[in-house]
A = this chain, B = another copy of it.
Amino acid sequence: MDLSKKKCVPCEGGVPPFDEHKIAEYKKHIQPDWKVTDNKKISREFLFVNYRHTMEFVNNVANLAEEEGHHPDMHVHYGKVLIELSTHSIKGLSENDFILAAKIDLL
Spell out A's residues near B (CB within 8 Å).
Answer: 51-52, 55, 58-59, 62, 65-66, 71, 73-78
Contacts and interface: CB of A to CB of B under 8 A. Distances in A.
A68 to B, nearest CB: 11
Nearest to A55: B62
Contacts of A58: 58, 62, 76
A78 B74 CA distance: 10
A73 B66 contact: no
Contact of A51 (B52, B66, B78): B66
Contacts of A78: 71
A73 B77 contact: yes
A65 B54 CA distance: 13
